[in-house]
Amino acid sequence: MTTEAADSTEAAGTIASAAGPGFFQRHGATIEYILIPGAALAGALVVFGIFVAMFGKNPLDLYFYMYYGAFGTWFSWQNTLTRAAPLILTALCTALPAQLGMVIIGGEGALLIGALSATSAALALQGMPPLVVQIAMVIGGVVGGGLWIMLSGALRQYRGVNETISSLLLVYIALAILNHLVEGLMRDPASLNKPSTREIGAANMIGSIPGTDVHWGLVFGLIAAIAAYVLIYHTVFGFAARVTGGNIRAAKIVGLGVSKLILTICFLAGGAAGLAGMVEVAAVQGRTNANLAAGYGFTGILVAFLARQNPLAIIPVAILLGGISASGGLLQRRLGLPDASVLVLQGIIFVFVLASDALYGRIGFLKGKS
Amino acid sequence: MADGSIGLWTVPLAVLGGAIRVSTPFLFVSLGECITERSGRINLGLEGTLVMGAMSAYGISYLTGSPWLGVLAAGITGALLGALHAGICSLPRVNDIAVGIALMLFGTGLAFYLGKPLIEPTAPRLPAIDFGWWSDIPQVRAALRVNVLFLIGVALAPILYWAFRTTRWGLLIRTAGESSDAARAMGHSVLLIRLRATMVGGFLAGIGGSFLSLFYPGSWNEGLSSGQGITAVALVIFARWDPMLCLWASLAFGGAAALGPALQSVGVTSGYHLFNAAPYILTLAIMIITCSPKRTLTGAPAELSITR
């Protein structure tokens, strides 16, 4: 987002202007990045509590079950981490293009296409050693999802088509392609009620991290997030991307290849979401069907914004939102709340987080001088 | 012909019927968004508004027994969501596209939450006017059963076209959209103009939603609008922010959206899902053809963040 750069320069300015910088002033920007989203989250939880109270439920019960269902036991922790894995990856799909000032919200589409191409790779390589199949699935997922979002980037760069709208339209097109293929060409004749592709085979599943029920997808997500962080903040390429995001005209004047940057970043972004699709197939579903459109792509947008598009911050935020969705089942069973309550809470959080953008650089005690 | 079987003619007839029937939500959302965008702000949240409108219309119609009260409730819900969007966007350094995405998720989530008890019951639906009375062919009669909301939408397009050009309000909205400095210099509050424009836009989008649940398809479920709101927002871009072009584009879209079910009814089932995606593919295709990186789009409000 373009406001990002403005924020950080402004924050830097306030630090420099401080006469005798104390701890709060010196770390003002960092504290703001934790304090403000934290406050937004707390505000959203209060509003959601009031909302639920209007339906005659006790908000304290709500908070307790949310905590219990998300982080209360080892079982719920595992559930939370399993859900966080695809969220980290789909959040990267929004956060990486955001460095260029692009708003991509089509992670769900890249996830579906990634899942389809990973499944196709696995089905084509049946009989090969599992490691070969798994590597092929990773490549298939990344390339499939990557090309899908790269299409949005290319349309933006070469045709001036708004990338937010095109990426969202591509979600619906991806879903149509998926439904078309699993009900036609790729359908397993044995899947009657729920049209699906054939299974990729138990041997080819990526399995769980030893000692847990959490699948290896979490490790994929962590590696991807750290790699994205290094790429954006510690390489020349990432620096060029951030310059472009800050001021595209300046980037062109200093001779940065803007087209190449856009296409590469969009490919990596879509690749991350495609990898999420691959993980969902290879670790959870075992096949491709419409179950994959579970909304991870859309929640990923929220994760990216709550993390202020920072790849490292995505990790804790994804765990937090993974926890919220993990607690959905418990809220349904114990409080009788509809499953959509998680969606409502996510929407409220999103609204609060965006509104809190107005607070940056305005908190008195972080500014140094009043 | 006499036995009522008209063979392959079903397809163009269903497309025509679809153009009339399916286009109404597109029409209302795009006209609403047209007003909002002309004031210099984009509201991507109309997808959520559409779903909320559908849910509240169905709920109110069920509770009161009057579908028209449902339509009104949908409009008010939409206007409130519009006010929320405009209110957050009035804060400094808040990106209107991001707020739209947030409200899209919030609106759909809230509608699913509140709409849970509405999936079972049947609410009174909006009446239709029979323009096909002269024909004996049931398909023709079905295609020409027109809802009043469609007629209102069709009438609204030229009214808006006229209002943008000649009325004080139309000029104010356009001034805010072309140059907020100019509007401010004239002593008007840009934020207030945009608040009103977004609320009116939300009102219309809500009514578009009421059509979905109260006329066609005519029930409430969670798959009611998958992306119709966002398609309509995209439609405004290639309609060049012109209400009359919004009308023609909505009709084309309605026809495209009716293609899948129409082909299915004559036995073409193989590409069902792909034909259902026709409106999205059409939107993307038209955006690819009409957009250009070299110039800003003709007719684009200068203050609009989406054309940058």
Contacts of B18 (CB under 8 A, 6+ apart): B254, B255, B257, B258, B259, B261, B262
Tokens representing B302 are 């200068």
* Cβ pair A1:B116 closer than 8 A: no
Q: How many A/B residue pairs have CB atoms within 8 Å? A: 154
Q: Is the dihedral of CA B268, A171, B238, B254 positive or negative?
A: positive
Q: Are A352 and A39 in contact (CB under 8 A)?
A: no
Task: Provide the 3-class DSSP secondary structure of residue B146.
Answer: strand
* Cβ pair A347:B270 closer than 8 A: no
The full 3-state SS of chain A, as one line of letters, equals: CHHHHHHHHHHHHHHHHCCCCCHHHHCHHHHHHHHHHHHHHHHHHHHHHHHHHHCCCCHHHHHHHHHHHHHHCHHHHHHHHHHHHHHHHHHHHHHHHHCCCCCCCCHHHHHHHHHHHHHHHHHHCCCCCHHHHHHHHHHHHHHHHHHHHHHHHHHHHHHCCCHHHHHHHHHHHHHHHHHHHHHCCCECCCCCCCCEECCCCHHHCCCECCCCCCECHHHHHHHHHHHHHHHHHHCHHHHHHHHHHHCHHHHHHCCCCHHHHHHHHHHHHHHHHHHHHHHHHHHHHCCCEHHHCCCHHHHHHHHHHHCCCCHHHHHHHHHHHHHHHHCHHHHHHHHCCCCCHHHHHHHHHHHHHHHHHHHCCCCHHHHCCC
Q: Phi first, then psi: give them for residue A187, nearest 5 degrees.
A: -70, 135
Rounded Cα distance between B303 and B177, Å, is 5
The confidence score (pLDDT) of residue A3 equals 43
Check if B97 contacts A (Cβ < 8 Å): yes
* Cβ pair B234:A177 closer than 8 A: no
The confidence score (pLDDT) of residue A185 equals 85
In chain B, the residue whose alpha carbon lies closest to the alpha carbon of A180 is: B273
Q: What is the pLDDT of residues A160-202, one digit of tens each?
A: 888 998 998 999 999 999 999 998 888 888 887 888 999 999 9
* Cβ pair A184:B270 closer than 8 A: yes
Q: What is the pLDDT of residues A222-275, one digit of tens each?
A: 999 999 999 999 999 999 999 998 888 888 888 888 999 999 999 999 999 999
Q: What is the pLDDT of residues A36-92, one digit of tens each?
A: 889 999 999 999 999 999 988 899 999 999 999 999 999 999 999 999 999 999 999
Check if B8 contacts A (Cβ < 8 Å): no
Rounded Cα distance between A198 and A119, Å, is 9
Contacts of B143 (CB under 8 A, 6+ apart): B13, B14, B16, B17, B20, B132
The amino acid occupying position B251 is: L
Q: Phi first, then psi: give them for residue A197, nearest 5 degrees.
A: -80, 175
Shortest CA gap A128–chain B (Å): 33
Rounded Cα distance between A267 and A261, Å, is 10
In chain B, the residue whose alpha carbon lies closest to the alpha carbon of A176 is: B273
Q: Are B37 and B301 in contact (CB under 8 A)?
A: yes
Angle at B123 between CA B118 and CA B126, to 5 degrees: 135
The confidence score (pLDDT) of residue A139 equals 97
Which runs of E-coded beta strand occur in chain B?
128-130, 145-147
A285 vs A5, residue with greater confidence: A285
Give the CA distances from residue A226 to residues A98, A173, A221, in Å, rounded to whole numbers and listed in that order. 17, 31, 9
The residues in B 135-164 lying below 8 A from A, measured between CB atoms, are none
The confidence score (pLDDT) of residue A364 equals 67
Tell whether the model's pLDDT for residue A112 goes beyond 70.
yes
The residues in A 69-128 lying below 8 A from B, measured between CB atoms, are 103, 105
Q: Pick the residue of B101, B230, B274, B295 with the most A CBs within 10 A to test the interface with A by mutation.
A: B101
Looking at the DSSP assignment, which residues form a beta bridge with residue A215?
A208
* Cβ pair A165:B287 closer than 8 A: yes
Task: Provide the 3-class DSSP secondary structure of residue B201.
Answer: helix
In chain A, the residue whose alpha carbon lies closest to the alpha carbon of B297 is: A160
Task: Give the closest of B231, B274, B283 to A180, CB-based.
Answer: B274
Tokens representing A120 are 């196709």
Residues of A in contact with B108 (CB under 8 A): 343, 347
In chain B, the residue whose alpha carbon lies closest to the alpha carbon of A344 is: B109
The confidence score (pLDDT) of residue A189 equals 86
Check if B44 contacts A (Cβ < 8 Å): yes
ipTM comes to: 0.89
- Selection from B50, B60, B14 nearest residue B227 by Cα: B50
Give the CA distances from residue B202 to residues A235, B42, B89, B239, in Å, rounded to whole numbers and listed in that order. 44, 12, 15, 19
Residues of A in contact with B102 (CB under 8 A): 302, 305, 347, 350-351, 353-354
Shortest CA gap B113–chain A (Å): 5
Residues of B in contact with A177 (CB under 8 A): 273-274, 277
Tell me which residue has tokens 């639920």. Answer: A52
The residues in B 173-232 lying below 8 A from A, measured between CB atoms, are 226-227, 230-231
User: What does the buried/exposed string (b/e) look like for B252-264 if buried means 16 or more CB atoms within 10 Å of the residue's CB?
Assistant: bbbbbbbbbebbb
Q: Phi first, then psi: give them for residue A352, nearest 5 degrees.
A: -65, -40
Shortest CA gap A18–chain B (Å): 23
Tell me which residue has tokens 């956060």. Answer: A95
Rounded Cα distance between B213 and A308, Å, is 37
* Cβ pair A158:B237 closer than 8 A: no
The confidence score (pLDDT) of residue B293 equals 75
Q: Please, what's the largest Cα pairwise distance for chain B?
A: 69
Q: Is the dihedral of CA A287, A290, A295, A297 positive or negative?
A: positive
Q: Pick the residue of B37, B273, B294, B304 with the most A CBs within 10 A to test the interface with A by mutation.
A: B273
- Selection from A272, A352, A363, A342 nearest residue A306 by Cα: A352
The number of helices, as runs of H, and strands, as runs of E, in chain B is 14, 2
Q: Tens digit of pLDDT per residue, chain B (308 long)?
A: 344 456 677 788 878 887 888 899 999 999 999 999 999 999 999 999 999 999 999 999 999 999 999 999 999 999 999 999 999 999 988 888 889 989 999 999 999 999 988 988 888 888 888 887 787 777 777 777 888 999 999 999 999 999 999 999 999 999 999 998 999 999 999 999 999 999 999 999 999 999 999 998 888 988 888 788 888 888 888 788 999 999 999 998 888 888 877 787 777 777 788 888 888 898 899 888 888 777 666 678 888 875 54
The confidence score (pLDDT) of residue B28 equals 96
* Cβ pair A350:B110 closer than 8 A: no
Q: Are A205 and A213 in contact (CB under 8 A)?
A: no
Q: Pick the residue of A8, A103, A108, A170 with the most B CBs within 10 A to test the interface with B by mutation.
A: A103
In chain A, the residue whose alpha carbon lies closest to the alpha carbon of B230 is: A165
The confidence score (pLDDT) of residue A16 equals 45
Check if B258 contacts A (Cβ < 8 Å): no
Tell whether the model's pLDDT for residue A10 goes beyond 60.
no
Tokens representing A223 are 């590696």
Tokens representing A294 are 């579970």
The confidence score (pLDDT) of residue B98 equals 87
Check if A172 contacts B (Cβ < 8 Å): yes
Task: Give the closest of B93, B107, B237 to A358, CB-based.
Answer: B93
- Selection from B192, B226, B232, B208 nearest residue B86 by Cα: B192
Check if B88 contacts A (Cβ < 8 Å): yes
Check if A29 contacts B (Cβ < 8 Å): no
Shortest CA gap B2–chain A (Å): 37
In chain A, the residue whose alpha carbon lies closest to the alpha carbon of B113 is: A340
